[in-house]
Structure 1
């Protein structure tokens, strides 16, 4: 049985471990952070395609124990007028419904499910170096420990240590906007808990959803120059709120009141993306998730794309006659789809009109890619 080392216990790494274990492979996860609560402050939405991938891994229950479902989306213009309202994909299927949850909660749920299935998950394991040989790959950690396997999966996010080892010249770039996130229980009544609202404001795109407990989750995307490292390091919730409020008050929407009602739970980050044609492979090492194809958050697909990666990779390794054939198939199947997402999301972030190029994979083809019982090599 092939032994696989997964570096990174976030969404991509934990899901990959679940998928590889289901495929009958020997897999262990090594996470640099001391616990599972990385990035607990930020939230995300899993789209129906991500939920489909979770279902194929038998991990739906583990994830739907946290967060809340979203079944409807509406769009408001800068005057607060509703211009679009429609059901979200998968709204009629509890397994495929969009889900809003905190990133740290998603990571913790997937890691707990991996441990429940007997997969080794080691925290506090920070990579120092990667050494590839003709038969094995060895990872050395900063605490002096090592791990040796047949294949290394770098699922360690945007600032991937594995990527620096196999493609040191590749760096993520600024995607044209900075993004604010916040939570409040004191916002004015904002609608039912299964509704996601997007506001196309004059100075910011603003989105929010309200949990069944009455907590409003919101984000704001502001196009412009990146915030400096010093600003990001020294910023305070009050300072971020004061920076954002004047932009939102230019419009007649609920956004400014929600932000004004948010006291301590405000954070901000520069949106980043990986360049197209980034190297994903080197010998016995492969990058997945944000380490390979991070996109700006404008399409809301980062976590869902990582979950898709996990299923497709495991199926390829399960069914291909050899590892090289599996990794070649994986890259052939995944690169057009994820790079289309990087491009589209970047265009939205920069306030450019998205291109008219058709998505490289139809919904029907994606469902077949993710179907655990369908082989790529049949």
Structure 2
């Protein structure tokens, strides 16, 4: 069987452009097809890029983009520090990462097509085409990569019985704030398990700051969240943190309603039985979405995109898909499970909070850099051939 020379990448968010760049480095021509008619500038909240993700992004030519965040300070609702976890990371806005990747993709000569909503595929013995909602077809390629996110169409085409996202019980919010009136936290991000919600913040030397909150709440889609005015969400969040001795209320009061980011329900995909079928394969959130609580969503997506490109570089696509899944499944599912445990603590009820706070010191002892090395020290060896 001949090697892979061309690829269709469905999804122009984060994983899709990384996959296209990695494929190009592997000598495989790729085109990106995005369902939205315009770019995603200004969309999304804050995120962390872990050292393993930083290394994977570096392999496709992306330099540093965020502020250093070298420690996470965990606190309880009284503001008492439980532990400080030292681990170098980058803090970035999703919109900034997206724009850097988008520009790099175009600079490298990768074509990005907007307004191409995938509805079906046409697969033959020699290749595969993408069928879009407007009736147009893509050029035939050797493989099709579904990097189309949590509600992936490609995942459904591979397996009509594929699982749907699992809701954590938490809604996500955040904002950037000017003139915060709080001392800089340096390279530390503070995170507090409040009585009724979870709060994180970091403040900088220039007087700006960022915060995020995870609010236990019945399920709402992102569109349903947007139907509630931001002023009302700020009021709800204020009530959630009213009894906590953390700076949440100060930062909420300084947040301009139009600057509030409602990032949607926090969801994951704990186990996708089928990662590939025929000439189709999944990458990023389409196959291993992890809750934002992991701090690994972007990093795992970048890793998988690069590993997939390596496998397609060295093996015919059936063997490449199998090798890629074998290399990735255990690792990503372990991260997803760990984040789910964190979410259960954030959404704990009155009794659960007592047990959670009692167990936080134990968590601190387990979250040392040495014990977390499996997650953060992971590196992809690009030049090493991929074996069956």
What secondary structure does 2:378 align onto? helix
Distance 1:72 1:229, change over 3 A: closer
Name 1:169's counterpart in structure 2. 161
Alignment of 1:29-178 (within 5 A): 29-37=32-40, 40-60=43-63, 64=64, 66-89=65-88, 98-147=89-138, 148-170=140-162, 171-178=164-171
The 8 Å contact of residues 336 and 360 in structure 1, kept in 2 or not, is answered as: no
The 8 Å contact of residues 184 and 204 in structure 2, kept in 1 or not, is answered as: no
Distance (whole Å) between structure 2 residues aligned to residue 319 and residue 261 of structure 1: 53
Alignment of 1:1-378 (within 5 A): 2-37=5-40, 40-60=43-63, 64=64, 66-89=65-88, 98-147=89-138, 148-170=140-162, 171-211=164-204, 213-227=206-220, 231-263=224-256, 264-268=258-262, 269-320=264-315, 322-351=316-345, 362=374, 366-367=378-379, 370-377=380-387
Distance 1:131 1:215, change over 3 A: farther
Distance 1:9 1:214, change over 3 A: farther
Distance (whole Å) between structure 2 residues aligned to residue 297 and residue 233 of structure 1: 19
1:275-322 deviations in whole A, cap 9, x for unaligned?
4133211111011110111121111111110000111111111122x2
The 8 Å contact of residues 202 and 250 in structure 1, kept in 2 or not, is answered as: yes
Q: TM-score, normalised by structure 2?
A: 0.86
Name 1:93's counterpart in structure 2. none
The 8 Å contact of residues 337 and 359 in structure 1, kept in 2 or not, is answered as: no
Distance (whole Å) between structure 2 residues aligned to residue 211 and residue 159 of structure 1: 36
What secondary structure does 2:210 align onto? strand
Larger mean Cα displacement after TM superposition, 252-261 or 283-292: 252-261
Number of equivalent positions: 362
Q: TM-score, normalised by structure 1?
A: 0.88
CA drift at 1:39: 6.2
Distance 1:339 1:203, change over 3 A: same
Distance (whole Å) between structure 1 residues aligned to residue 44 and residue 246 of structure 2: 25
Distance (whole Å) between structure 1 residues aligned to residue 44 and residue 375 of structure 2: 32
CA drift at 1:361: 8.7
Distance (whole Å) between structure 2 residues aligned to residue 208 and residue 162 of structure 1: 36
Distance (whole Å) between structure 2 residues aligned to residue 59 and residue 229 of structure 1: 30
What secondary structure does 1:175 align onto? strand
Distance 1:153 1:57, change over 3 A: same
Distance (whole Å) between structure 2 residues aligned to residue 83 and residue 177 of structure 1: 23
Unaligned stretches of 5+ residues in structure 2:
349-355
Unaligned stretches of 5+ residues in structure 1:
90-97
Larger mean Cα displacement after TM superposition, 114-123 or 141-150: 141-150
The 8 Å contact of residues 186 and 262 in structure 1, kept in 2 or not, is answered as: no
Distance 1:30 1:78, change over 3 A: same
What secondary structure does 1:251 align onto? coil
What secondary structure does 1:88 align onto? strand
